[in-house]
Chain A
């Protein structure tokens, strides 16, 4: 297995973990909050809210802006 494939496999594991936790949160009674609940909690304060929205804006800047 090449380093390229290992790197991509790592990303896929992270994505699988996110999907798994979201499924556990929304389809089972497991004590796991959904990603939406986490974001809502993080955005309860002004700094948290601005921080999350700036992170979103940064994604756009990173991929498209000079």
Chain B
């Protein structure tokens, strides 16, 4: 027994939080019709239109060929997951964008939030102390980093922890200035990397950031301090 396809109004009633606008939704459906086989294939592969996916695939390739296959496999898994997720959502709700829906904060109460923050700080200190005590590139350190990284990425996958106001359009000139500075820094690092004797051999004349941080990361306290900074950055990003 066949069932009539729901109208855009029906879908809006069922998924009010994912509607991105009538005109935009209408044009999106006109381009990719998920009912037709070709439309289903296009919808399933819609994630490949995301630049982030291609950046992750490039990182996966270059880290794998530079002797870090674990990094490469993890990046490949995330890139594949993003493509699969975008395709799944495009097939189910072709009018839905990729905007994550903010979860209702379960830490709204001031006291509960204080308890949670204290627990996170204590947990972070223990984590940095324990993982920092392991030597670099050891399997215990690898497991600790992969475990926490996986948890944080999965948390982010489900959307922001709390709704943030839409800041509107960013000023173009200032945004371009940031892009220039950040890309220039990355290119400078890349130039140093390419001037090494080989991609896995350090150079004193052209040190990469990794080479410059080696002395600090050679000691257990140094590793713990860097891990604390890494944790703080991760917390800051999850809260965005």
Contact = CB atoms under 8 A, between A and B. Distances in A.
Interface in A29-62: 30-33, 35-41, 43-54, 56-62
Contacts of B25: none
A37 B233 CA distance: 15
Nearest to B185: A14
B239 to A, nearest CB: 10
Contact of A47 (B82, B153, B205): B82
A57 B59 CA distance: 13
B164 A51 contact: no
Given A46-B100, A53-B237, A64 B170 contact: no
Interface size range on B against A: 35 or more
B170 A41 contact: yes
Interface of B: 47, 50, 52-53, 55-56, 59, 68, 70-71, 74-75, 78, 82, 85-86, 97-100, 131, 136-139, 141-142, 144-146, 148-150, 152-153, 156-157, 159-160, 164, 166-167, 170-171, 173-175, 177-178, 181-182, 184-185, 188-189, 192, 204-207, 209-210, 212-213, 217, 223, 226-227, 230, 233-234, 237-238, 240
Interface of A: 2-4, 7-8, 10-11, 14-15, 17-18, 21, 24-25, 30-33, 35-41, 43-54, 56-66
